[in-house]
Structure 1
Amino acid sequence: MRNHPKGLITLAGTEMNERLSFYGMRAILVLFLAAAVTDGGMGLDPGTATAVVGLYLAMSYFTALPGGWVADRLLGFRRTVLVGGVVIMLGHISLAISLGPAFVWLGLALVCIGTGLLKPNISAMVGELYQGDTDARRDAGYSLFYMGINLGSAIGLFLVGYLGERVDWHVGFAVAAVGMGLGLVQYVLGQRHLKGAGDLPPRPLVEGERGRLLRIAALAAAAVLMAGVVAAFTGTLSIDNVTYVLTAFSVVVPIAYFFYMFVVRREDVTAEERPKLKAFAWLFIASAVFWMIFDQAAGPLTLFAQNHTDLHVAGFAIPASWTQAVNPVMVIVLAGVFALVWTELGDRVGTGLKFAIALLLCGFSFVVMSWATAATDGGTVKVSLLWLVGVYLLQTIAELCLSPVGLSMTSKLAPQAFKAQMMGMFFLSITAGDAIGAQVSRLQPVLGGGYFLLLGVLAMVCGAALLLFVGKLRTLMGEERTAAPAAA
């Protein structure tokens, strides 16, 4: 951190606490939703519970696009992050107060909205700290930022996971609220280190746009309300149907927004920026496939840990939610190594190659999961925890090839007119992947190990296809290949 801006510590610390709250709650969410009402849970069918978790994760990133717009046009990055943190804390408080299902759904909605305001904009602020720096140094900065994220994730998974499973679900949610509160305090106290980054919106609304915005917002709210009323009166309002509608939105919206940037607002994208935007579109698809698999840790993999894995370690039965902590712990160990590797390699290894490697490794992790499922002998045998450790190791290496690099890539490829919104677009790739994963996860109980094998092979095929177009992507992105040094 010594050779990086001091503002990185402020942003990484804030994100660390936000991820403590987010991943801590995520650790127990599927277990809470699937637990019987008599055990303090929601009593949902496991297939519905995994779909709800997947759609909750998808919506948490879906809101990143309007969150980026709010920063771009209204508040600027800095204030939008602050508002988002407050909304997230209120969401966790709603989950913690244990006053019935309505407060659970309200809490999840508030966390989704707050995450959309905070997540893309704090990541964009990291990019602003490295204005004028080399791509390699920016990648290294994002890797260190990512290490802070995973430190918070690990703490949240262990702390909230244990309290939620072993004490009370709502005590776990309360700890998540406290984590976000600490993050807000840290963010306010560290403002001076940001040196004005994100203070002003890049493209503030002009005269007349505010009234049009209010009319559009009012019409959208009225349409949603009317749709809900109609669904309630016709008997079609159900948790499953809501997830289907949200999945459709998660796929349609990014397609529509690419059309908006490429066609409707074509004049706002310069000739130099347009090839980079095309490269971003292909990497968007690769990212969606990756997250479709990776984020199933919160649903099918956690239920696999609870039902089919021997969780005894040194005579102690660990909570099933703790298995999710393998990933952030490994990121903490490996992130610094990857930061050094990317710095050493510089521009010799392009973004496209990193994404291809990520897809191949993440796909292979699900092939391993199919072997683990076969080892349960139809669910009659509990398998070793080492199966899940191996799966998460492969996914962690894949994540470090894609996620921090993806954040850095987005800040580099973003057209100036859509800078914060493009960070939101990167998170929409996670939305699309999580939403599709939420629905296909319903097939896991039916397909068994074949489910993991099918998705794993799909990801590996996509990774192999991406390898064939690495050179083309480098050209579109304007990445200049650095010649390897001559041998001594």
Structure 2
Amino acid sequence: MAGDVRSRPAGRTTFFGHPRALATLFLTEMWERFSFYGMRAILVLYLTASVADDGQGMDESTANAVYGTYNAMVYLMALPGGWVADRLIGARRSVLWGGVVIAAGHYVMAVPVGWSVFAGMALIVLGTGLLKPNISTMVGGLYDRDSPRRDAGFSIFYMGINLGAFIAPLVTGFLGEKINWHLGFGAAAVGMTLGVIQYVLGRRGLGEAGARPADPLLGADRRRALTRAGVATIVLLLLIAALAVAGLFTVNTVVNLLTAVTVLVAVGYFARIMTDRELSGTERSRMKAYLWLFVFAAAFWLIYDQAGSVLNIFAAENTDRDVAGFTFPASWLQSVNPILIIVGAPLFALLWLRLGHRVSTPAKFAVGLVLNGLSFVLMAAAARAAVGGDLVSPWWLVAVFAIQVAGELSLSPVGLSATTRLAPVKYASQMMGLWFLAAAVGDAIGGQVARLADTWPEPTYFLTFGLASVAFGLGAVFFTRHIRTLMSGIH
């Protein structure tokens, strides 16, 4: 149909052998990730810094939970963001307005008052929900559903994500840790502004991709949906007011409530899709396969996204960061992961192209889980070396991130591609939101799990969850054939 997000723009393939429109989406995502990872690199460090050092003075347990919940909310909002694109304004305008709201959120965080960080985070959550799922859906719309170049295209797109993520901590980390936290947040705002400008200038080359809603709401249905959204917003505000009056509107109460909401949304969303009578038997079978991939992905992100919380604090407190008399910011180590992905992404893109359909998507997920677990096993050794207050070499963390990167490239870009291939037409953009919901569930639970890092001995913490991920990945291997059958011809 005319509004189908899979409508491909016309033109020669000129961007690394891929459609030119990929360059526009690549650069937009690069700047959005600059803003996101730049802020994220210093968030926990800011929350745990003392008030005397212009921080929030939070204990590490609460700060880790806040960080995990914030990440979860960013990804959770991808669901309504996908719905808005599918039913109301289309993917293209969703990306534009999402970028504007994200930039506004970062500018609010740059205001040097305590409350601005939480207000800014709320805006970033809303804006990312609009931008993140829909820009990935538009990348999928550049290719045929089963094109062998599809995984390679997503890997190149993934490289753009990590180019922004590499540069960001170097800028915001220096400004935030060495000069002023809010100045670091302000740099993230500038990055997102550049992303919006670049997108506006380049969006004409996108052709029809994402130009209109895939399944638009019209007339009375549209008015009814908007009314329900307004009522839900009012109910939420009343709930917040009631908690505040009762003295229960605390950081920990909000974190725990949002964690429960995230898990319940995932359960409810899958139940809704599985019982949708409009889906064909093939589409329903593919959704059953996707449920397995969803669980694997959530388990992966539970460990992986602790890089910005537990591992970031370890870098600040337990690593020797002195180089020729200069103590580099702990947040600079957050750039190790993306630079390794920049190097590794084209290699993995070539690997998947060479292997074709010989290695299935479920098998790649299993590899990612095993490698993720091994990274925490190595981290347990680093933590043991730091027992007693000794500072360890930052190369421990570099090695940990290298293993995690190999796992990420086995799972994340492959998962993005699988989502667009397995998605029922009716749920095109919403399915991309469902993929990010896996990260939301993993991050929400991971934020609660990360509380234990402040109470358990660190070697025990890392070894326990590392071995659990390895065992889960090995168990996933035994289900790959069953999942491939459920995928009904999608490799």
Instruction: State the TM-score, normalized to the length of structure 1.
Output: 0.96
Partner of 2:126: 113
Contact 2:373 2:467 in 1 (8 A): yes
CA distance in 1 between counterparts of 2:312 and 2:279 reads: 43
Structure 1 residue 398: Cα displacement = 0.3
1:239 aligns with 2:248: no
Counterpart of 1:193 in structure 2 is: 205
Q: For residue 102 of structure 1, report the CA deviation from its aligned partner.
A: 2.5
Q: 1:394 aligns with which of 400, 403, 423?
A: 403
Contact (CA 8 Å) 2:146, 2:421: kept in 1 or not? Answer: no
In the alignment, is residue 447 of structure 1 matched against residue 464 of structure 2?
A: no
C-alpha distance in structure 2 between counterparts of 1:220 and 1:191, whole Å: 33
Q: Indicate the residue corresponding to 1:60 in structure 2.
A: 74
**Matched residue, 2:298:** 288
1:474-485 equivalences under 5 Å are 474-479=484-489
Write the letter of the residue equivalent to 2:241: V
- 1:347–1:480: 8 Å Cα contact kept in structure 2? no
* 8 Å contact from structure 2 (residues 71, 440) kept in 1: yes
Question: Partner residue of 1:79?
Answer: 93
Paired position in structure 2 for 1:407 = 416
Residue 79 (structure 1) shift: 0.4
C-alpha spacing 1:290/1:420, structure 2 compared with 1 (3 Å): same
How far off its partner does 1:132 sit? 5.1
Kindly provide the CA deviation profile for residues 312-370 of structure 1, in whole angstroms up to 9, marking residues without a partner as x.
24553211001111100000111110010000000001100000000000011111111
Task: Please give the alpha-carbon distance, in whole angstroms, between the structure 1 residues aligned to 2:350 and 2:323.
Answer: 33
1:213 aligns with 2:225: yes
Distance in 1, matches of 2:125 and 2:237, equals: 19
Letter in 1 for 2:382: A
Does residue 421 of structure 1 match 2:430? yes
Does structure 2 retain, via aligned residues, the 8 Å contact 1:67–1:424?
A: yes
Q: How far did 1:225 drift?
A: 1.9
Aligned match of 1:432 in 431, 436, 441? Answer: 441
- The structure 2 residue matched to 1:382, chosen from 379, 385, 391, is 391
Identity of aligned residues (%): 50
- Once the two structures are TM-superposed, the CA of residue 209 in structure 1 deviates from its matched residue by 1.4
Deviation at 1:459, TM superposition (A): 1.1
SS at 2:356 equivalent: helix
Q: Which residue of 1 aligns with 2:157?
A: 145
- The amino acid that maps onto 1:183 is G
Aligned position for 1:170: 182
Alignment deviations for residues 146-182 of structure 1 (CA, whole Å, 9 cap, x no partner)? 0011001101111111111111111111111110011
Q: Which residue of 1 aligns with 2:5?
A: none
Aligned residue in 1 for 2:9 = none
How far apart, in 1, do the equivalents of 2:311 and 2:111 lie? 28
Distance 1:221 1:480, change over 3 A: closer
1:117-128 matched pairs, under 5 angstroms: 117-128=130-141
5+ long unaligned stretches in structure 1:
482-488
What pairs with 1:258-277 in structure 2 (closer than 5 Å)? 258-263=270-275, 266-277=276-287
Residues 1:30 and 2:44 are matched in the alignment? yes
Aligned residues of 1:306 and 1:320 also touching (Cα < 8 A): yes
CA distance in 2, matches of 1:236, 1:36: 24
1:296-315 equivalence runs, <5 A: 296-315=306-325
CA positional deviation for 1:244: 0.2
Per-residue deviation at 1:273? 1.1
Q: Which amino acid aligns with 2:186?
A: A
After alignment, is 30-39 or 125-134 more displaced?
A: 125-134
SS at match of 1:248: helix
CA-to-partner distance for each residue in 1:442-482, whole Å, 9 max, x for gaps? 1112112211111111111110111001111111113477x
What amino acid does structure 2 have at the position aligned with 1:213? A
CA distance in 1, matches of 2:80, 2:161: 22
Question: Cα deviation per residue 1:133-153 (whole Å; 9 max; x = unaligned)?
Answer: 61x310000000000110011
Cα distance, 1:310–1:94 mapped onto 2, change above 3 Å: same
Separation in structure 2 between the aligned mates of residue 352 and residue 2 of structure 1, nearest angstrom:
27
Larger mean CA deviation between 18-27 and 215-224 belongs to 215-224
Of 458, 466, 485 in structure 1, the residue corresponding to residue 468 of structure 2 is: 458
Q: Which residue of 1 aligns with 2:106?
A: 92
Match of 1:318 in 2: 328
CA-to-aligned-CA distance 1:37-71 (integer Å, 9 cap, x gap): 11111111111111111111110001000000000
Change (3 A) 1:268 1:300: same
CA distance in 2, matches of 1:280, 1:314: 51
2:483 corresponding residue in structure 1: 473
Name the SS for the 2:135 alignment partner.
helix
Q: Which runs of 5+ in 2 are unaligned?
A: 1-14
Give the drift of 1:383: 1.0
Retained in 1: the 8 A contact 2:81–2:433?
Answer: yes
The answer for the alignment partner of 1:484 in structure 2 is none
1:17 to 31, 53, 76: 31
Q: Is the 8 A contact 1:83 1:117 kept in 2?
A: yes
Inter-partner Cα distance in structure 2 for 1:254 and 1:268: 20
Q: Distance in 2 between the 1:410 and 1:157 partners?
A: 29
Distance apart, 1:420 and its partner CA: 0.3
Aligned to 1:338: 348
* Alpha-carbon distance in structure 2 between the residues aligned to 1:334 and 1:315: 32
Cross-structure match for 1:49: 63
CA distance in 2, matches of 1:371, 1:289: 22
Structure 1 runs of 4+ aligned residues shifted over 6 Å read none
1:485 paired residue number: none
Partners of 2:110 and 2:55 lie apart in 1 by 13
Deviations 1:373-396 (A, max 9, x none): 111124x21111111011100000
SS at match of 1:190: helix
How far has the Cα of 1:15 moved from its partner?
Answer: 0.2
Judge conservation of contact 1:350–1:479 (CA < 8 Å) in 2: no
Q: Would you say the 8 A contact 1:347–1:479 is kept in 2?
A: no
For residues 193-215 of structure 1, the C-alpha deviation after alignment (integer angstroms, 9 at most, x for no partner) is 21110001000003211232233
2:319, 2:392 within 8 Å by CA — same for their partners in 1? yes
Matches of 1:356 and 1:343, distance apart in 2: 19
What do residues 242-282 of structure 1 show as CA deviations (whole Å, max 9, x unaligned)?
0000000111101100001111xx22211121111101001
Residue 267 of structure 2 corresponds to residue 255 of structure 1: yes
Q: TM-score, normalised by structure 2?
A: 0.95
2:8 equivalent in structure 1: none
Matched, 1:160 2:172: yes
Q: Does the CA-based 8 Å contact 2:146-2:490 persist in structure 1?
A: no
Partner of 1:111, secondary structure, is: helix
